[in-house]
């Protein structure tokens, strides 16, 4: 009688940045480990990255890790930002598949088994795509749509629309991601840059269970600038065209003045028009310098080769209950 060969156990790593998330930690550990434990032929680890929290997030994470040996707590030396914290977790995760995940549970953990099934079907990247964002404000939905469309028009690397950080990556994809040396990291763009044709799992985003978002309108604007300048040089190149157009316009206007003066004689200089032209061109030049400054600033930061993050400690209990 033939015996069915046992399927190997695969390790699933969930990478979760935490910054002042003490209000959601209890609910997170009530829901997420149960979902991960329900996946057949797999074990799991939860890599919790404390990104310099000022509340008792670290204490709660450490307490959870003492009860469950599959929880690993990575404590960064200060607040480096979500992109750096996510990078730290991905670097430390050891799973056959790695899933970045938000602590606020707006992305449903029940979707994780679907991501794993797609991965086992042979996909190196499985992206969770939002098809409904009623929990976001109208302004946030519209600006997000505009950002994705504008970014994908000007950048060579296209970012899937309405796809956040929630996705599954195979070990091969993770190792490719770890080879990217940027200090200023726009993770959505880096996820797309490494390639690997993705599969998609659609879902509706849930309301945040507690706490409040750490991304204000100003931070989202700067985040969008980071994404645009990280993956496109078109904002630099466009000033060549603006300068050329301005020069051609001034030459045509000069030619017009010469012809008019020959035809009608010398006219009285117009000081208002001169001031307007000077202020306009000065403003255009300052905008161009600002765009160049954005790129020079990135070069300056990258040239220092500072680490993306610094780990103060890593805690994982040697035993515990599921």
User: What are the angstrom distances between the C-alpha of 35 and each of 46, 100, 256?
Assistant: 12, 15, 74
CA–CA separation, 150 and 204 (whole Å): 24
Residue-wise pLDDT tens digits, 156-206: 777 777 777 889 999 999 999 999 888 888 888 788 888 888 889 888 877
| Domains observed in the chain | 10-215+308-315 (3.90.550.10), 234-303 (no CATH)
Angle at alpha carbon of residue 247, lines to 246 and 248, rounded to 5°: 95
Mean pLDDT for each consecutive 10-residue tract of the chain (322 residues)? 63 93 90 91 92 90 91 93 91 93 89 92 89 64 68 71 85 92 82 86 75 56 62 70 73 72 65 66 76 77 82 77 42
Nearest to 74 by CA among 248, 158, 87: 87
**What are residue 173's phi and psi, to 5 degrees?**
-65, -40
State if pTM tops 0.85.
Answer: no
Q: What is the model's pLDDT at position 16?
A: 94
44-65 per-residue burial string, b: 16 or more CB within 10 A, e: under 16:
bbbbbbbbbbeeebbebbbebb
Torsion of Cα atoms, 51 then 53 then 56 then 59, to 10°: 30
User: What are the angstrom distances between the C-alpha of 254 and each of 101, 163, 316?
Assistant: 60, 51, 74
């Amino acid at each position: 009688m033939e015996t069915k060969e046992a399927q190997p156990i695969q390790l699933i790593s969930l990478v979760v940045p935490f910054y002042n998330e003490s209000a959601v930690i209890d609910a997170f550990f009530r829901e997420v480990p149960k979902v991960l434990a329900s996946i057949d032929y797999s074990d799991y680890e939860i890599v919790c990255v404390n990104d310099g929290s000022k509340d008792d997030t670290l204490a709660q994470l450490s307490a959870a890790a003492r009860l469950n040996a599959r929880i690993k707590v990575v404590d960064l030396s200060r607040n480096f930002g979500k992109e750096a914290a996510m990078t730290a977790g991905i670097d430390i995760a050891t799973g056959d598949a790695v899933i970045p995940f938000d602590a606020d549970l707006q992305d449903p953990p029940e979707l994780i088994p679907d991501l794993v099934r797609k991965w086992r079907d042979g996909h190196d990247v499985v992206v969770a795509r939002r098809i409904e964002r009623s929990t976001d404000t109208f302004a946030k939905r519209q600006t997000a749509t505009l950002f994705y469309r504008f970014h994908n028009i000007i950048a060579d690397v296209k970012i899937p629309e309405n796809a956040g950080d929630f996705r599954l990556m195979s070990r091969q994809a993770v190792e490719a991601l770890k080879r990217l040396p940027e200090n200023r990291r726009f993770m959505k763009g880096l996820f797309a840059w490494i390639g690997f044709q993705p599969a998609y799992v659609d879902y509706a985003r849930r309301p945040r269970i507690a706490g409040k978002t750490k991304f204000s309108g100003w931070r989202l604007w700067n985040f969008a600038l980071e994404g645009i300048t990280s993956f496109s040089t078109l904002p630099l190149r466009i000033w060549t065209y603006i300068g050329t157009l301005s020069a051609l316009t001034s030459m045509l206007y000069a030619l017009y003045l010469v012809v008019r003066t020959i035809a009608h004689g010398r006219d009285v200089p117009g000081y208002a028009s001169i001031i307007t032209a000077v202020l306009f061109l000065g403003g255009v030049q300052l905008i161009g310098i600002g765009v160049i400054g954005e790129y020079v600033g990135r070069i300056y930061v990258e040239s220092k080769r500072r680490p993306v993050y610094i780990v103060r400690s890593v805690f994982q209990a040697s035993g515990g209950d599921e």
